[in-house]
């Protein structure tokens, strides 16, 4: 067996990369209920808010652009 000192660093780096990937994403930064822009706050105060997502024909969530960008 040939001793390679760089192999230990590669193994350590790969282990740290896997550990960071597993523990990196735990929860979202913003809650779904909080408004992200002043426009959403304005619409919510006047009861004119719409859902940000809408299911498509297959049930997958898609951005609700038509309702959000239409004139009221």
**Residue 63 counted as domain residue:** yes
**Residue 9 counted as domain residue:** no
**Residue 45 counted as domain residue:** yes
**Residue 72 counted as domain residue:** yes
- At residue 25, the pLDDT reads 65
**Residue 69 counted as domain residue:** yes
Count how many domains the chain has. Answer: 1
| pLDDT tens figures, 24-40 | 666 777 777 777 788 88
CA distances from 45 to 8, 13, 34 (A): 59, 50, 13
| pLDDT tens figures, 10-67 | 888 888 888 777 766 667 777 777 777 888 888 888 888 788 889 999 999 998 888 8
**Residue 40 counted as domain residue:** yes
- At residue 62, the pLDDT reads 93
CB 35 within 8 A of CB 52: no
- 41: domain range? 36-72
**Residue 25 counted as domain residue:** no
**Residue 24 counted as domain residue:** no
Instruction: Say if residue 64 is exposed, middle or buried (CB neighbours under 10 Å; 0-12, 13-18, 19+).
Output: middle
Report whether pLDDT(5) > 70: no
Output the 3-class SS for 23-63: HCCCCCCCCCCCCCCHHHHHHHHCCCCCCCEEECCCCCEEE
């Amino acid at each position: 067996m040939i001793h390679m000192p760089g192999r230990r660093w590669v193994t350590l780096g790969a282990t740290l990369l896997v550990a960071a990937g597993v523990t990196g994403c735990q929860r979202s930064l913003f809650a779904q209920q909080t408004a992200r822009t002043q426009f959403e706050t304005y619409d919510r105060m006047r009861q004119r808010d719409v859902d940000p997502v809408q299911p498509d024909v297959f049930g997958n969530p898609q951005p609700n652009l038509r309702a959000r960008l239409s004139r009221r």
